[in-house]
Structures are given as structure tokens and as C-alpha cells.
A and B are shown apart, each in its own frame.
Chain A
């Protein structure tokens, strides 16, 4: 028995010793190499040798799980943006990725990790509103700017934080655009709203309900889980109320297909309208003719439709050779904003998180890579952004020009 305790004690002691030796170099340097300090002072006299300073941009998004394809798209576009920027400027910015699994808790872990890495000067993400929410305090405390490519929840910039930046429209912008379009362009009198109980879905449908009621339309609402595929009750209610427009805020293609088909099969003849989740051909194909005529509102257009993004698209095709959709555009813009801010700080000789944050806030692009101007207003929300509408025609998306 005593022998076992001794072995245990020795193991613990060994572990402690190893931990101490493997500790950060900064704690070791003063004790083992007293001559080190003078050596690190020299490089400031020779700026070219100081360049090897590692500059990193972090990207925190959902890389695994059911929604992983979204984050992977964002990460890939960020990487292309960084590569193009590096070629343009001769710098060597590195992209560091973190997987938040669309979970607020996992997001916090990644945020802590990024904050602890002193070479990270700006962060792209998170991608999902609930994760943006959970990580805002962490980044704010560290003074590390984070620019989201896809968090659209309104409360995030109302009041927002000093370090959270949103260069894309928010949910109530979408609600306003869509509601106005429904009532004024489509002449809808009665609308049925379905949310998927997510932060995004509920926020969007709340906004729509408000806007539609203000415009004089009657609104019915219901709510389903993201796993739900049996919409019988929804269809029954829709048919019973003589609905003009059915709006679904889901982000799962399978759900959007299921509702579309079930509605049409049981004789619904009104308009089908989806949010961003519908801007994805994965749901259009299995739906057959049930998908035609569907309106899709999305926060950013497909990069293929933006002339200013031609170079990015070509480079993406070359480097990554995978398909991508609207989530890529937001990511490219967010990354570009971060990179240009870093560049301005380098030119000013002040590479620090505080400088980068200030430069991001001061962003003033006349024509960004998405074609519209970018500057930040109250709450660090982009000024004057617009939502884009597409309509499904013959199995493809056609841009709706009002």
C-alpha cells in the first residue's frame, strides 16, 4: 500500500516538474538567459527585421455538425480573402480557425482561446446569433474586435459592444423589406408565419409580425422544432384561413422542402416565402414543381451575381473548388474589413488590438467588394444595408429587381 502511494507521489512530482519546464517561454527567459533583454531591443532599429511579427486573424464559426457546411463556406471564403490580401500587400497574415459548433458554450471556449493568443488582432465571427451573444462580453473585455459575417439578431447591436461589428443587415431590416414586399408588391392580406424556435427564426418572425400588422395585414403564427417534418397541422390551418403568403423562417433545407411539398399537395395555391435558409438549391431540387415561384429573402446576394467579386469567385474556384452560397459574401466582407484595418494600423506603426478596433470602427469603404458602401453607425451596425430578394424559377434562383 505504502509503495503505491510513493509511486503516485513520484508521478505527481514528475508531472509538476514537466509542467513547469513546458511553461511559457516568457517566464523562463529572465531566469535562464539574463542577456536576452538587450537582444530583443535591437529589431526596432531595423523595421524590416520586425516584419516576421506574426499577424493572425481568427475565425470562429460552426465547422462541424448539421450546420457545418455554412461555417466551412465562411472559413473557405475568409481564407481566399486573406490569400488575395497577402498577395496584394506582401504581408503574411495567417487565418486561425475555431469551431463553435453553433453552441454558445463552445463559442466562449474558442473566444477565450483567441483572446489568449496575442498574435490575433481581429476575429471574424461568430456566425450564429446565439453564439455572437455569448461571446460579446469576452471580446469586449479583451478589446478584441470581432466582425460577424452572419449574425443577424437585432439585439446584438442594440446597444451592442465596442468590439462587435456587423457589416451585414439585421433581422428587422429583413422584416421590413419582406413585409413591405409582401403587402405592397404581392398584395398579401393574410400571412402565415412559421418559426423554427431558433434565435434567428423567432427574431425574424417577431419582426415580420410587427411590420405586417402595422401595414394592415392579418397574421397567423405557429412554431416548430428544427427536426419537425410533419406539417399537417400547419397545412390544415393555412388552408382553413385562406392565407395569401406562407413564410417559413427555417434554416434546414429538408424542412423547407417538406412544407413546400405538403402545402402544394394538399391544394395550397398562395405564395411560399422563405428566409435565408431557402437560398439553397438543396431544397429546391427534391421539391419538384412545389418550389416554383417561391420567394427567398437573403441578407447577402450570391457572390456570382456581384461583379465586384469576380476575382474572389475565380480564386475560390481555383483554391477550394467547392460550391458556395450567400454566407460566403458576408465572410469575405468581414475579413476584408479586418485586414484593411490591420493594414492601416501597421502603416501607422501601431499594431495593437486597440488600434485595430478603432480602425475597424472608422471603416469607410466607398465601394466594398460586395458593391455597396460600408461604414458603421450606432451600435456598430452598418449604415444603410439592403436585403436581397430572389425567386425560384425552373429550379434556379432569379434575382428580383423591384
Chain B
């Protein structure tokens, strides 16, 4: 049986249950790592959609810009690291720089590419988003060059550092990704549930006009939403840089698509949904690449999207939209 399924999936014919189990823990760790990044990206998409009903296609490129900011900071800070500038401090600093940079870009994009089109037909801001995407990609390419750059992770975090969970080697960089994402999500949840601005965000997402009538500054809420989404994307960018090292101006495209897919899978406009969707997608991709083929990596994301939408059109945690008559 295992030989048959092995041949169907293109695995070597001596593949058995043993090898499946042997690769399982590593696959789970990889899935968690990927899932964390997708969740961070998905949150930005979901929040903006929830408030503006706009799909911010430039979000992936904001993430890419964040990665480059982090790279620039790393190039400057890494040679300076020593006794008073320890590695953890360097990591925190580049994270802050990347988040700050991405946040600035995200807010600028909202201000100049979306706000003027607030009352235009829905298609207009979408096209504007595509335009922004191109502009950001080419701007970065002009400044940094088209050639991929590498995060100096090898010199930043020694390859030997990490923990051994049973048979699996979990390197510090992956722990960093999972840990940072956890912290950021907890912070976001607290912010949305227990602060005034968070409450205002939820109100605007529910009914923009009513919120405005209740005295909520809708413009401010929108800016905060874009800011938070971009901060998370920037953090995701640095984490990806540290784990996967190579960064290039076009990396935002496919990452953005996967973030968007995660958001839709979880129910777009829904914050826990975005987190869940990201995690699920990361896991699915990890399993697919290890057990089927790495060439299917990108396809698997969209296959899952199609399946989920067929079975549950409003996403896993989404609620069907009620048409207000």
C-alpha cells in the first residue's frame, strides 16, 4: 500500500511509514515557521478589507520594502556588533527599523493612493493598488539593484545555535519567527479587544457610517489600520530574511498572494481567521513540499483556496455577508 501511494506521489519506491514519520517533526516545524509569516501578512489584508472593503494588493510589496529596510539596517549594524551591541539587540533594532519603514510606506500608500479614491467605484482603488505595487518594486530595484541580496544570517546567528526537540534540530532563527509572531499576535489581539482605538476599529469595520455618527474619527482609524498591517508585514519581512536569507524586489508578489489566500481561507475581514488561515496554509505547503514535490509548492496554496471556497465560501471563520435591504 505504501509502495503504491509512494509511486503515485512520485516518492522513491523504498519510501515507507518509517521515513514518513522521520520527516514529520521537521515538516511540522517548517509548517509552523511558514504559517507564522503567512499569518502576519494575512492580518494586514484582513484588517484593511474589514474596514475599507479594499484588497490592498500592494501589501506584499510593503512587506518586501520592510525586508529591505531590515537588510539595510543589518548591513550597517552587524559590523558594529560587539560587547555593547549584542546580537539580540541587533535583531530587535533591525526589526524596529523594518517595521517602522514598512509602516511609513503603508501609511503613505493609504494617504496618496487610496484616500483620494475613497468615494470612487470599487475598481479604482484596486487598480491603484496594482500601480503602487509596480512602483514599489521598481523603486527598490532602482535603489538596491535587481540582484538578490542576502541577509547575513550566517554571521548573525551561529549555525550551531538552536534546540533539539527529539530528533529535530530547531534552529534559533525558526524559534525567533514563531516566538515573534506569537508576541505580535497577542499584542494585536489585546489592542483590538481592550483599547479605545481597537474598539473604534471594530466599530468602523461593522458599520462605517454609524461609527462616524457615534463620533469615531474614521480617517484616523483607517490610518491606524494600515499602520498596524504594515508593521506586521515589516516584521514578517525581517523574519523571512533571517530564515531564508535571499531577498529580491519581486519577493512581495508571491508572498502577498499567499497572505491574501490565507486571509480568504480564514474568512476575510476576520482577525482570528487570518491567523488560522495563515497557519493552515503554512502547514499545507510544508507537507506538500516534503511529501509530494517542491514544484507543487505554490500550486498547493491555490488548490486549497479553491477547495475551501467551494465548501465554505465565506472562509473558515467568516460569516456569510447579509445583504442589507
Residues of A at under 8 Å CB distance from B? 65-66, 69, 220, 222-224, 227-230, 232-237, 239-240, 252-255, 257-258, 260-262, 264-267, 282-283, 285-291
Contact = CB atoms under 8 A, between A and B. Distances in A.
Contacts of B286: 232-233
A258 B241 CA distance: 10
Interface in B198-255: 243-248, 250-251
B244 A236 contact: no
Contacts of A290: 154, 159
A254 B159 contact: no
B68 to A, nearest CB: 13
A232 B245 contact: no
17 contacts: A65-B146, A69-B147, A227-B248, A228-B294, A232-B286, A236-B290, A240-B19, A253-B148, A254-B245, A265-B162, A267-B169, A286-B245, A287-B154, A288-B153, A288-B154, A288-B155, A289-B154
Interface string B138-175: 00000000111111111110110010000001010100
Given A229-B245, A290-B159, A265 B171 contact: yes
Question: Of A227, A257, A261, which is in contact with the most chain B CB atoms at under 10 Å from its CB?
Answer: A261
Nearest to A255: B246
A286 B150 contact: yes
A262 B171 CA distance: 9
Given A240-B19, A265-B159, A265-B162, A254 B26 contact: no
A352 to B, nearest CB: 41
B147 A286 contact: no
B180 interface: no
B137 interface: no
A234 B171 CA distance: 16
Nearest to B30: A232
A270 B163 CA distance: 20
A262 B286 CA distance: 15
A266 B26 contact: yes
A291 B147 CA distance: 20
Contacts of A222: 294
A268 to B, nearest CB: 9
A288 B158 contact: yes
Nearest to B33: A232
A285 B153 CA distance: 10
Contact of B294 (A234, A252, A261, A287): A234
Given A240-B23, A254-B248, 4 more contacts: A233-B294, A255-B148, A258-B244, A285-B150
Contact of B154 (A66, A227, A240, A261): A261
Contacts of B295: 223
B158 A229 contact: no
A68 B158 CA distance: 32
A235 B290 CA distance: 9
Question: Of B26, B27, B247, B286, which is in contact with the most chain A CB atoms at under 10 Å from its CB?
Answer: B26
B314 interface: no
B294 A224 contact: yes
B152 A288 contact: yes
B169 A266 contact: yes
B289 interface: yes
B22 interface: yes
Contacts of A265: 159, 162, 169, 171, 173
B34 interface: yes
Contacts of A267: 169
Contacts of A253: 148, 150
B269 to A, nearest CB: 29
A134 B176 CA distance: 48
A301 to B, nearest CB: 24
B90 to A, nearest CB: 14
Interface in B112-160: 146-156, 158-159
A254 B148 contact: yes
Nearest to B156: A288
A77 B225 CA distance: 53
Question: Of A66, A230, A288, which is in contact with the most chain B CB atoms at under 10 Å from its CB?
Answer: A230
A290 B151 CA distance: 13
A65 B146 CA distance: 7
Contacts of B173: 265
Contacts of A258: 150, 244-246
B94 to A, nearest CB: 14
Contacts of A282: 150
A292 to B, nearest CB: 10
A74 B198 CA distance: 58
A171 B273 CA distance: 50
B155 A286 contact: yes
A258 B294 CA distance: 16
A260 B154 CA distance: 9
B171 A257 contact: no
A224 B156 CA distance: 26
B147 A66 contact: yes
A261 to B, nearest CB: 5
A233 B159 CA distance: 18
Contacts of B159: 261, 264-265, 288-290
Q: Which 5 A-B pairs have the closest CB atoms?
A: A288-B154, A254-B246, A254-B148, A286-B150, A265-B171
A261 B290 CA distance: 19
A289 B309 CA distance: 46
A229 B155 contact: no
Question: Of B12, B19, B150, which is in contact with the most chain A CB atoms at under 10 Å from its CB?
Answer: B150
Interface string B23-35: 1001100100010
A255 B251 CA distance: 13
A54 B154 CA distance: 53
B102 to A, nearest CB: 19
B26 A236 contact: yes
A223 B159 CA distance: 25
Contacts of B19: 240
Contacts of A228: 294
Contacts of A288: 152-156, 158-159
Contacts of B30: 232, 236
Contacts of A229: 244-246
Interface in B1-47: 12, 19, 22-23, 26-27, 30, 34
B145 to A, nearest CB: 9
Nearest to B27: A236
Interface string B46-74: 00000000000000000000000000000
Nearest to A266: B169
Nearest to A395: B155
A106 to B, nearest CB: 16
Contact of A230 (B22, B244, B248): B244
